[in-house]
Structures are given as C-alpha cells and as structure tokens.
Amino acid sequence: MRRTIGDRLGDAVIAAILLALVIVSAYPFLYVLLASFSDGNQLLAHSGLLLRSYGFHLDAYETVFRNSAIWKGYLNTITVVAGSLLLNMLVTSMTAYVLSRRRVYWNKAFIFLIVFTMFFNGGLVPFYLVVKGIGLIDSLAALIVPFAVNTFNLIIMRTAFASVPESLEESATIDGANHFTVFWRIILPLSLPVLAVITLYYAVEKWNAWFYASLFLRDRELFPLQLILREILISNSTDSMLGGASVDQAVLVSESLKYATIIVATVPILCLYPFVQKYFVKGVMVGALKG
C-alpha cells in the first residue's frame, strides 16, 4: 500500500514525541554523569542545562574508590542481592508451579489469599515486631528472609507456567516423571524469558532498596550501598569521604563527589539490562497472556 502524506506526517509526529521522551528520560542520567567529571567550583557557579563537564577531572572517582564505606556497602549489597535472588527465585518459581497446576485443591482460594496481600497488609509496626521477634534485627538476613516472595512477580510467573501446554506434562507423567522432574526439566526450560525478567525485577528491587535497611540495621558495617548513598545526599555532606584532604581539594571535589557516588552505585545494575533485553518483552508478554 502506498503511504500517504498524512501517514508520513503521523509517523514523524510520533517519532518526534518518542525522541522527546527519550531525551527527557536520559538527560538526568547525563547530567549526573557530566557533573561527576566536573570541577566543584565551576559546577556550583553553573546554572541551567548541563551539556558538558566543567573543568574535567577524575578526583571525585578517585575519592569514591578510596572510601572503604563504599566498598563495604558494595559487598553488603551484593550479598543481599545474591542471597535474595537465590531465595526469591526458588520460592517464587516453586509456588508459581503449584498454583499453575489445574488439579490442586483450593487453588483459587490460595490465589485469592495471595493477591489479597497486594492490597492489604498488617502495617509497618507489626511487620517490624515480627522481624524483631524472630531475631533478624541488625543482620543482612532481615533484608532477605521477610521478602522471599513478591506477589506481583509470583502472579506473572504463575501465569507463564500455566501457559505451558498440559500435554507436555501428561506425556512426561506417562513416562514416569514426578512433579519435580516436570518442574525442573519441562516448565523451567520453557519459561526462560519469564525467569530472566523476574530475576531482573528482583535484582533491581534489591539493589535499589534502602528503606528497610534503615529500619532494621543499626550497625554501619552492615549498611548497603544505597543507604550509604542516601546518607551522603540527604546530609549533603561528603566530609567522611574526603578524609585528610586539604580545604582547596575538598571544595574542588565535594560537589562532584555526590554525583560520582551516584554513578558508581547505578552503573552495575544498568549493565544487567543488555544481557536480558532479548528476553524482556517476550517474558512480560508471555506472563500477561493468560490469567
């Protein structure tokens, strides 16, 4: 079919809108990146859009990487993310498999009770008392165990598992396969896109988490990276990171140091996206097709 002028004009308008959205979404990250390489004095004197670095230098990054609190925060965050992913994916996938089976007694009742938790919960104070009662306060386990399942992710995974043809399970059962074999050798391999997406969801959630860490942790040695970053930005102070730096060097670095810390804390999780991008759209669509 021949494209009319109206079709081309419509495409141009849509492309312009999408380009504007990309610029609006990407500019804050670009601003932080350019500011992290800028001179603190020139950065403070600048107003308006930041389209280049001012007084390019790497002193802020050198200061960040010399700070032991950042490395300790990285280690704590990686520990929480790794432990959470192992527990989250194990519990979520096994629960989703059970709920996706058509002959499970009270299946709909279980699903209703699980979905109910998305809209109503016991509140923050009872939750804190439960975590305290089981002895998890001031330990990294407090950021892992109470968050074993995300209901939204569970529903997506359950929907994806339910979309696998029942005939595959029946043929495996005839050959002597039990539920574990069906789950491990049929359901999981056929659901890799969804598993990749849910893994990314959980990883991003745990990497960015700071609120419950501030609630459950008192020992600064256990603080995750995002909680350290939050303290730096909220207090607007980088004195603890500058150590014995001279006054001139402190002024030079302090402003750009906050932005450098943001970049160091953000880039690792962004590096995950290229590896799961090919699964992302497919996984979300598969998980949304059948309820």
DSSP character string of 129-183 = HHHHHTT-TTSGGGGTGGGS--HHHHHHHHHHHHTS-HHHHHHHHHTT--HHHHI
Q: What is the pLDDT of residue 235?
A: 61
14-18, 45-49, 109-113, 230-234: range with highest mean pLDDT:
14-18
Q: Which whole-number Å values give the CA distances from 260 to 66, 73, 265, in the listed order?
A: 13, 15, 9
Task: For residue 45, name the pLDDT band (cuts at 50, 70, 90).
Answer: confident
Fold exhibited by the domain 68-219+273-289: MetI-like fold (1.10.3720)
The string of pLDDT tens digits covering residues 161-211 is 888 888 888 888 888 888 888 888 889 988 888 888 898 889 888 998 889
